[in-house]
C-alpha cells in the first residue's frame, strides 16, 4: 500500500476569508454573491454529528467554528461523511484542527489548535462501511479517518466540553490560489532552507512566498526549526496572522480584481455544514466581526506534555481545562493580568514567591490557617511564627530586590501596607492582622515562552519580529 501523503496543516484559508468577508463581501453585488455561494460545497455530517440550529450572528451569542484541513482533492455534493465516497478513503485525512471561538460581544477571536498526535479516547462513529468504530485510545486525527468531519466535531465536543456551531473543511489546493490572490504572504527565515520532501528552497531573511512555496512553507517539518509538529503549528499560526494583515491592508480590500479573486478562490476551497454554506450566513457573521482587529485575534494550542515514545503527546488536563472553560463561558483567554488600582499589571506569579507568615492576631494558630490559604494559591510558605505584638492591619515586608513579588502578595492578601527591610534571601514576611479576610487569586503578566504551548500569540504580531 502506498504511503499516505501528508499535506500541510494550514488554516489561513478560512481565517483569511472570514476577515475578508467582514470588510469586503457586503459590497459584493447579487450576482457575485450567488456565485460565491455556489462555490461552497455542503457536507452532511449527520451520520456522526447532528448540527445545531444556526446561531443568529447578531444575537450577542458566541460562535464556535471548527476548521479542519483536509488533503482531499474533491468533495462533491452534499453526501454524508461516513460512506465510502467521502470518508475513510486512501489518502484523505485531516492533520489540522483549529477551533475558532468568536466572542458574543464580537470583540475578540480565539483560535485553539489541537495537536494531531494527541493521544485521546476516540468517539464512537460510523465508518465508511457503516459500522460503528472508536471507543479506544488513538491519535486525535484518526477521528477524521474514521468518520470525516462529523466524527472530528464529535471528538472535540466530547474531549473539551465545547459546543461546536459550525465546521469547515479547507481544501489545501485552494489555499495556494488564495495566497496568490493577495499577492503572496510575508515570512522570515533565520536560515536558508532546502527541503527535498516539500520542495521548499528559500534563502534566509524576509521574503514574500506564494503558491507552491507558501504551501511548502507551512508543510515543511524536518528542515525548519526543531523539526517538531508543535513548532510547525506555531509557524502556521504566525502565517495565518501574516495573511490576515495582508488581507486587511488597503492594497487588497480596495483592489476589485484582488478582492474578487480572493473571494472566489477562498469559497472554492471550503466545504461546510449546510447552515454555514449560505453566503448570507457567512456575510452576517463576517459583518458582525467588523470591529475585530488583528490584535484581537489570539492563537493558542491545547497544553500538552510529550509522551515517552517521542511521537505522541498527552494533554496537560489541568491547564487544558482552564482553557476549555474560558471558551465555554465566553471569557478571554489567556486571562487578563491582575492590575491593582493605580499600578501596572502584576508580574511575579505566586509559585515564585516565598512567604514567612507571622501571626499578628490574638487567635492562636491563625498563622497556620493563613499558610494553608497561601499554599492553595500556589505560594511557597517557608514557615510560620507568632508576633510579639498584635496588629489590626496586615502588612508585607520585603527585601529591596523583591519589590515586584511584594506587589503580588500585598494585593492577594489585602495588605494595607508594605515596607522594605534588610533581607537578602528573597523571603517575604507577611504579618497577618485582624483585617485579614483571605487570599484572592491573581493572574500575572507573562512573557512569551516558546516552550509553553498555551502561551498566546496574536495576528497583529509580524512573523518577522521575534
Residue 56's pLDDT is what?
Answer: 77
**Which residue intervals of the chain bear CATH 3.40.630.190?**
12-334+449-458
* 313 neighbors 115 (Cβ within 8 angstroms): yes
What's the mean per-residue pLDDT of the chain? 81
Cα 364 from Cα 368, distance rounded (Å): 9
CB 233 within 8 A of CB 221: no
> Mind listing the pLDDT tens digit for each residue in 125-144?
999 899 999 999 999 999 99
284-315 pLDDT tens trace: 787 788 778 778 888 889 999 999 988 899 99
Q: Where in the chain is the domain with CATH 3.30.70?
A: 350-432
Measure CA 42 to chain center.
26
| Residue 94: strand, helix, or coil | strand
12-334+449-458 topology per CATH: Aminopeptidase (3.40.630)
State whether residue 131 is helix, strand or coil: coil
Taking Cα atoms as reference points, which of 135, 136, 154 lies closest to residue 144? 154
Q: Per CATH, which fold does 350-432 belong to?
A: Alpha-Beta Plaits (3.30.70)
d(CA 199, CA 211): 12
Cell numbers that stand for 278 in this block: 449560505
Beta carbons within 8 Å of 299's beta carbon, 6+ residues apart: 110, 111, 113, 237, 240, 241, 456, 457, 458, 459
Its pTM stands at 0.75
Q: Is the dihedral of CA 285, 286, 287, 292 positive or negative?
A: positive
> How do the pLDDT tens digits run along the chain, 466 residues long?
333 333 233 333 344 445 444 444 444 455 566 677 788 888 999 899 988 777 777 778 999 999 887 655 443 333 333 333 333 333 455 667 889 999 999 999 998 999 988 999 999 999 989 999 999 999 999 999 999 999 999 999 999 999 999 998 877 667 777 888 888 888 888 888 888 877 788 898 899 998 888 888 877 766 676 666 777 777 777 887 788 777 767 677 667 677 777 777 777 777 888 888 877 777 778 778 877 877 888 888 999 999 998 889 999 999 999 999 999 999 999 888 999 999 999 999 999 999 999 999 999 999 999 999 999 999 999 999 999 999 999 999 999 999 999 999 999 999 999 999 999 999 999 999 999 999 999 999 876 555 455 566 665 555 565 4
Amino acid at each position: 500500500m502506498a504511503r499516505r501523503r501528508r499535506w500541510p496543516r494550514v488554516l489561513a484559508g478560512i481565517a483569511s476569508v472570514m476577515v475578508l468577508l467582514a470588510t469586503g463581501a457586503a459590497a459584493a453585488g447579487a450576482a457575485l454573491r450567488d456565485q460565491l455561494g455556489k462555490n461552497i460545497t455542503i457536507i452532511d455530517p449527520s451520520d456522526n454529528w447532528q448540527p445545531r440550529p444556526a446561531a443568529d450572528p447578531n444575537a450577542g451569542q458566541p460562535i464556535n467554528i471548527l476548521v479542519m484541513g483536509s488533503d482531499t482533492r474533491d468533495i462533491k455534493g452534499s453526501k454524508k461523511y461516513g460512506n465510502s465516497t467521502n470518508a475513510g478513503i486512501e489518502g484523505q485525512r485531516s492533520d489540522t484542527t483549529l477551533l475558532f471561538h468568536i466572542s458574543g460581544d464580537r470583540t475578540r477571536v480565539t483560535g485553539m489548535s489541537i495537536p494531531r498526535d494527541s493521544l485521546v479516547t476516540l468517539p464512537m462513529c460510523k465508518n465508511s462501511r457503516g459500522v460503528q468504530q472508536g471507543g479506544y485510545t488513538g491519535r486525535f486525527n484518526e477521528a477524521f479517518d474514521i468518520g470525516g468531519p462529523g466524527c472530528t466535531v464529535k471528538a472535540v465536543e466530547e474531549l473539551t466540553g465545547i459546543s461546536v456551531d459550525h465546521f469547515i473543511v479547507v481544501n489545501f489546493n485552494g489555499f495556494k490560489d488564495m495566497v496568490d490572490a493577495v499577492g503572496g504572504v510575508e515570512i522570515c527565515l533565520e536560515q536558508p532552507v532546502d527541503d527535498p520532501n516539500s520542495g521548499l528552497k528559500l534563502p534566509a531573511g524576509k521574503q514574500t512566498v506564494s503558491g507552491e512555496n507558501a504551501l511548502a512553507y507551512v508543510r515543511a517539518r524536518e528542515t525548519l526549526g526543531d523539526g517538531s509538529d508543535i513548532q510547525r503549528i506555531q509557524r502556521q499560526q504566525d502565517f495565518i496572522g501574516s495573511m490576515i494583515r495582508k488581507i486587511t491592508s488597503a492594497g487588497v480590500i480596495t483592489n476589485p480584481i484582488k478582492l474578487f479573486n480572493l473571494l472566489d478562490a477562498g469559497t472554492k476551497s471550503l466545504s461546510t455544514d449546510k447552515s454555514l454554506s449560505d453566503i448570507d450566513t457567512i456575510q452576517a457573521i463576517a459583518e458582525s466581526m467588523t470591529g475585530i482587529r488583528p490584535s484581537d485575534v489570539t492563537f493558542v494550542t491545547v497544553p500538552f506534555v510529550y509522551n515517552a515514545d517521542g511521537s505522541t503527546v498527552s494533554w496537560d488536563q489541568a491547564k487544558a481545562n482552564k482553557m476549555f472553560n474560558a471558551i465555554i463561558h465566553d471569557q478571554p483567554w489567556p486571562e487578563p493580568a491582575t492590575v491593582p488600582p493605580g499600578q501596572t499589571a502584576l508580574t511575579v506569579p505566586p509559585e515564585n514567591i516565598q512567604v514567612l507568615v507571622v501571626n499578628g492576631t490574638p487567635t492562636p494558630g491563625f498563622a497556620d490557617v493563613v499558610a494553608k490559604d497561601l499554599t492553595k494559591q500556589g505560594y511557597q510558605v517557608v514557615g510560620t511564627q507568632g508576633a510579639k505584638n498584635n496588629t489590626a492591619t496586615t502588612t508585607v515586608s520585603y527585601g529591596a530586590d523583591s519589590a515586584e513579588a511584594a506587589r503580588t502578595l500585598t494585593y492577594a492578601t489585602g495588605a494595607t501596607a508594605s515596607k522594605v527591610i534588610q533581607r537578602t534571601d528573597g523571603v517575604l514576611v507577611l504579618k497577618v492582622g485582624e483585617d485579614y479576610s483571605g487570599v484572592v487569586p491573581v493572574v500575572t503578566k507573562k512573557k512569551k515562552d516558546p516552550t509553553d504551548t498555551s502561551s498566546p500569540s496574536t495576528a497583529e504580531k509580524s512573523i518577522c519580529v521575534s
